[in-house]
Amino acid sequence: MSLWLNGIGVSRGIAIGRVQKLSGGDLEIPEYTIAEADVDAELRRFADAQARGREQLRQVRSQVPSGMGGAENEIAAFIDTHLLMMDDRSLTDAVVATIRSSRINAEAALKRQRDALMAVFEQMDDAYLRARRDDVKHVSARLLRILLNQERSLPVGDAEAPAGPPPEPSIIVSDDITPADIILLAQAGVAAFITEYGGPLSHTAILARSYGIPAIVGLHNARRLFRDGEAVIVDGDLGHALADPDAQALQFFHAKRNQQRERRAALSGLKDKPAISRDGVKIRLLANIELSEDATHAADLGAEGVGLYRTEFLYMNRKTLPTEDEQYEVYARVAASVKGPITIRTLDLGADKQVDSGARSGPTPNNPALGLRAIRLCLKEPDLFRAQVRALLRASAHGDVHIMLPMISSVGEYRQAMAFIAATREQLAREGATMAAHVPVGAMIEVPAAALAASLLARHCSFFSIGTNDLIQSTLAIDRVDDEVNYLYDPLHPAVLKLIRTTIEAGERARIPVAMCGEMAGDPRYTRLLLGLGLTEFSMHPASVLEVKRIIIESNVRALRAQAANLLETGDPQALEMLMAETG
Ligand code: PEP
Ligand code: MG
């Protein structure tokens, strides 16, 4: 009998295949006592497992494909974290000690230490430390699979393909999948992923999107509800999975999948076409980048410039803060390599983005997303901010640099930051530094208060950029990295739409450009809606640029604006559905 199940669709597309369940973190771990004489052999077995784990991770790292719009750097960094943890003494010393003192097998000793470490991390509210808990879980799972000889549960490897018709594609069903494993699975040609945990901003989701593999996360009890080997359809657009589909459903989804494939193939021809709607409205498509190297790649994929360069990644994975000169060199190189504007966001540290280099000290606050982060941190730490602002102003001599201030919540705060930038510019001028005559400075609108006060802020800003990731989090009061409340993360909530419209309207009245750089801007499901709300600049993960461009080219913006105005007035769900549906 067919069974519909719902999770969170985090990577678009239709996949049809057979369930292959994978054990992730919760393997059956036997515990047994070993003889005194066998202790050394058991310690060797553990050391061998570590060596094999390291080898696997290095192999995966060398296989990370390039051309993933910058995600490859993030993946490599993630795998490096796991490599370091494989030798982390907080994990391994206790395992060795337990094998020696309790004379138990390596798997059981590892399980005890994993559980102890995870319990410690569990009690911490901080999102960064929660991520460390996941690292412990993932690295332990890899070592446990090796120790238990269950590595072959991953459908990868060197086995010869059996003769006969090609096997049906696998749809992986697991509690959770590590980024390293997702790379192996993607290379083994799996058709889709379904996991019980995780959210759209998890690394699993980012990777699945980069590989273009449909994925659903947060489908609780998936491993209990699906049977190994049964047929399943995954609709990554809607987050639906249909187990044991009947002939009619199969026919419908085959047709939908074929349509999607044809569309994707047609997209590559759009690279050099301008993003102009059917009724002649020019839309600007920009890229979000995390690392300086991503800038050139963004242009290859059809972006006209950079709408968000997240500089905090320059500050991560290091023990000291980057100096002004070091930053200047990076910003100047990026500015010179980008043809259009390059919007560089000042440091947005805090919340789920922490650094080791002492940018802030003191205990972790209970609500880091609402705490001393982003522009608040910069204004509190003038030396930190000054080094970056000086580097940015100096880099402005090399390209069309725009400076963007994150987490602005009031006019007073914005003006304080502007005064700081002006004073820094004067100082640089006195020193004889070369800078562009005018460097536009703008505010990210990602705090609901800033959206509501947008008309006042617009008088002081050269541009706005709407950060929907934080705007939605704060408007709907849900932690964007907590999968328990992810079901409430709704970009279509009327309150969110009103704040977006209010911001765009304020920009239009003040005649300043308004862009959007949150994930919503790169999600083709929302393109027509955003056009209807009046958005004319979209900044996104480079891999989404062409699909968003196609929708723009096929849209009639004037008609969408009329539909959106009606929607905002009536809040009619049917009007929303019609506006989002691709029918003209
Ligand atoms: C946002 O909040 O929408 C945004 C683009 O910034 P970040 O995701 O880096 O917080
Ligand atoms: Mg943000």
143 lies in the same domain as 177: no
- The CATH number that applies at residue 359 is 3.20.20.60
Q: Is residue 571 part of a domain?
A: yes
* CB of 225 closer than 8 Å to CB of 241: no
- Within 8 A by CB and 6+ apart from 435, the residues are 393, 394, 396, 397, 425, 428, 429
Active-site residue 203, yes or no?
yes
471 lies in the same domain as 350: yes
Q: Is 133 exposed, middle or buried (0-12, 13-18, 19+ CB in 10 A)?
A: middle
CB atoms within 10 A of CB 276: 14
| Cα angle 547, 551, 556; round to 5 | 165
Which DSSP letter does residue 363 get? P
Mean pLDDT by 10 residues, the chain (584 residues): 86 92 71 91 92 85 65 72 82 90 92 86 66 78 83 44 61 83 80 87 72 89 91 93 93 91 83 94 92 75 91 75 94 92 91 56 68 91 97 98 97 98 98 97 98 98 96 90 77 96 98 96 94 97 88 96 93 87 66
Number of the ligand 1 atom closest to the C-alpha atom of 351: 10
Q: Is residue 29 part of a domain?
A: no
225 lies in the same domain as 333: no
88 lies in the same domain as 138: yes
Q: Is 569 exposed, middle or buried (0-12, 13-18, 19+ CB in 10 A)?
A: exposed
Could you write out the three-class secondary structure of 282-343?
ECEEEEEECCCCHHHHHHHCCCCCEEEEEHHHHHCCCCCCCCHHHHHHHHHHHHHHCCCCEE
d(CA 408, CA 376): 8
Q: Ligand 2 mean position to 289 CA, how many Å?
A: 14
The domain boundary, picked from 208, 235, 267, lies at 267
259 lies in the same domain as 336: no
- The CATH number that applies at residue 15 is 3.50.30.10
Q: Ligand 2 mean position to 407 CA, how many Å?
A: 7
Q: Is residue 30 part of a domain?
A: no
Q: Ligand 2 mean position to 518 CA, how many Å?
A: 7
d(CA 194, CA 217): 6
The domain boundary, picked from 147, 180, 197, lies at 147
Q: What is the pLDDT of residue 297?
A: 73
* CB of 281 closer than 8 Å to CB of 528: no
CA 159 centroid distance within chain: 34
d(CA 351, CA 467): 15
Q: Ligand 1 mean position to 308 CA, how many Å?
A: 9
pTM to 2 decimal places: 0.65
Q: What is the pLDDT of residue 544?
A: 86
- Within 8 A by CB and 6+ apart from 541, the residues are 69, 70, 71, 209, 287, 288, 522
Quickly tell me which residue has 């010393």 as its tokens.
93
The whole domain housing 14 covers 3-23+154-267
Give me the catalytic one of 82, 297, 402, 517: 517
d(CA 137, CA 91): 11
CA 491 centroid distance within chain: 16
Q: What is the pLDDT of residue 522?
A: 92
Q: Please, how many CA atoms are within 13 Å of residue 298, restricted to the half-sphere of its CB?
A: 31
User: What is the rounded (10 degree) CA torsion for 240, 243, 244, 249?
Assistant: 0
Within the chain, what is the greatest distance between any pair of CA atoms? 82
- Report the number of distinct structural domains present in the chain: 3
Considering only CA atoms, give the Rg of the chain: 25
8 lies in the same domain as 102: no
Pocket of ligand 1 (CB under 6 A): 308, 310, 348, 446, 467-470, 517-518
17 lies in the same domain as 107: no
Amino acid at 61: R
Give me the catalytic one of 82, 138, 203, 541: 203
For ligand 1, atom 8, which residue shows the shortest CA distance? 469
Q: What are the distances in angstroms from CA 523 to CA 45, 140, 432, 562? A: 47, 35, 45, 22
139 lies in the same domain as 160: no
CB atoms within 10 A of CB 482: 14
- The CATH number that applies at residue 45 is 1.10.274.10
Which-ligand-closest: CA of 310? 1
The domain boundary, picked from 209, 238, 267, lies at 267
Which-ligand-closest: CA of 539? 1
Q: Is residue 345 part of a domain?
A: yes
Q: Is residue 273 part of a domain?
A: no
* CB of 113 closer than 8 Å to CB of 91: yes
Number of the ligand 1 atom closest to the C-alpha atom of 519: 3
Q: Ligand 1: which of 128, 310, 540 to mutate, judged by most atoms within 8 Å of the beta carbon?
A: 310
Q: Ligand 2 mean position to 351 CA, how many Å?
A: 10
189 lies in the same domain as 165: yes
Amino acid at 38: D
133 lies in the same domain as 163: no
101 lies in the same domain as 248: no
Q: How many residues does the chain have?
A: 584
d(CA 36, CA 428): 71
Q: Ligand 1: which of 345, 409, 470, 499 to mutate, judged by most atoms within 8 Å of the beta carbon?
A: 470
Number of the ligand 1 atom closest to the C-alpha atom of 520: 3
